[in-house]
Amino acid sequence: MGNRRGLFSFLLPSALCILPLACRDFGTGGTGELVVPKEQLHDIQGMDLSQVATTLPATTEPTTFPATQPAAEVTITLDEVRQMALQNNLQLKVDLLSPTIAQTNISEEQARYEALFTTNVDYQVTDTPTSTRLAGSQGKGLQITPGVVVPLETGGTLRFDLPMSRSETNNSFATLNPAYTSDFQASISHPLLRGAGLAVNAQGIRVAFYNYQISQAQTKLSVITVLAAAERVYWRLYAARLELEVRKKEYDLAEAQSRILAAGLPRWLADRLAIGR
């Protein structure tokens, strides 16, 4: 009964040491990381074009030019341009893998605190001459020691072992042959000065988590750069279409003036008639 109480008094503090390890959320702020809000690393706010739409027409009517074969007209929206830019950019597809790789590094650092199952098997055969029959000259021994090693977040190690052995001898005076033994062992080791504490042991997790946030921010920047370049080209094309219409109207106006001047009218009257057209 006394041994059971002693074992219980040892396991209870050990369980209390493991409980914070299971409840703590490593790599997401549970070990003191500065967590940037998710919307700042993933969401990309679009520009409000409501005021722009009031000054610019939503669609531009294509100008018809005399030609032997009319050019094909392709209508595309700004949202379609953004989608195609994101789907067809190969460099962006490579950049999107960086957060996944960085998150794997966090999992690698978190694995340092996972429990480890160990097993040790030892088998030996002895054949030693003896000078008396009270001791056996030949013997066989098998020992299996399964165990669990639990790393603690504060830098210590908690270990549980259950050694089991079987021994056999040719000693005729042995009362138990073969003999079986088993026992339970528990031990804890913890540094007192160097390497002790959560701040030191969770440093790798914090660094990996910060690198993960950096990769997310860099990937978001790459996406914004691609979208900005696509939108810039889109609005340049839109401006070129409007400028083309203006140039076409100037051409029609000049052509009308030339026809009126060819009819012999004064210049001031030709300008008025051309503007009226």
Instruction: Tell me, yes or no, whether 29 and 85 share the same domain.
Output: yes
Instruction: Tell me, yes or no, whether 85 and 118 share the same domain.
Output: no
Q: Please report whether residue 164 resides in a domain.
A: yes
Q: Please report whether residue 124 resides in a domain.
A: yes
Give CA–CA dist 260/269, Å, rounded: 9
Instruction: Tell me, yes or no, whether 10 and 94 share the same domain.
Output: yes
pLDDT for 45 equals 73
Q: Please report whether residue 183 resides in a domain.
A: yes
* 26-68 pLDDT per residue, tens: 666 667 777 888 777 877 776 666 655 444 444 444 445 455 5
15, 188 contact by CB (below 8 A): no
pLDDT for 269 equals 61
pLDDT for 140 equals 87
How many beta carbons lie within 10 A of that of residue 231, not counting itself?
16
* Number of domains the chain is built from: 2
* 248-265 pLDDT per residue, tens: 988 888 887 777 666 665
108-112, 119-123, 140-144, 270-274: segment of lowest average pLDDT: 270-274
Q: Which of 193, 222, 243 is the last residue of a domain?
A: 193
Q: What is the mean pLDDT of residues 131-144?
A: 76
Instruction: Tell me, yes or no, whether 33 and 153 share the same domain.
Output: no
Give CA–CA dist 237/227, Å, rounded: 15
Residue 232: pLDDT above 80?
A: yes
Q: Please report whether residue 131 resides in a domain.
A: yes
Look up the pTM and report it: 0.63
Instruction: Tell me, yes or no, whether 88 and 159 share the same domain.
Output: no
Average pLDDT, the chain: 78
Tell me which long-range contacts 83-89 makes (C-beta under 8 A, separation of at least 24): 84/230, 85/226, 85/227, 85/229, 85/230, 86/223, 86/226, 86/227, 89/226
Q: What is the mean pLDDT of residues 82-91?
A: 90
Residues contacting 165, CB < 8 A, separation 6+: 141, 142, 143, 144, 180, 181, 182
pLDDT for 275 equals 59
Q: Please report whether residue 86 resides in a domain.
A: yes
Instruction: Tell me, yes or no, whether 173 and 209 share the same domain.
Output: no
Q: Where in the sequence is the domain holding 246, given as residue range(s)?
A: 2-61+74-110+205-272
Instruction: Tell me, yes or no, whether 125 and 29 share the same domain.
Output: no
Which residue spans within the chain are E strands per DSSP? 116-127, 138-151, 157-161, 164-169, 179-182, 185-189
Q: Which amino acid is at 210?
A: Y
Token output for 5: 């109480």
Q: Which of 136, 167, 193 is the last residue of a domain?
A: 193
117, 156 contact by CB (below 8 A): no
Share of the chain above pLDDT 70, in %: 70
Q: Using 50, 70 and 90 to split pLDDT, how confident is the model at 240?
A: very high
Higher pLDDT, 42 or 135: 42
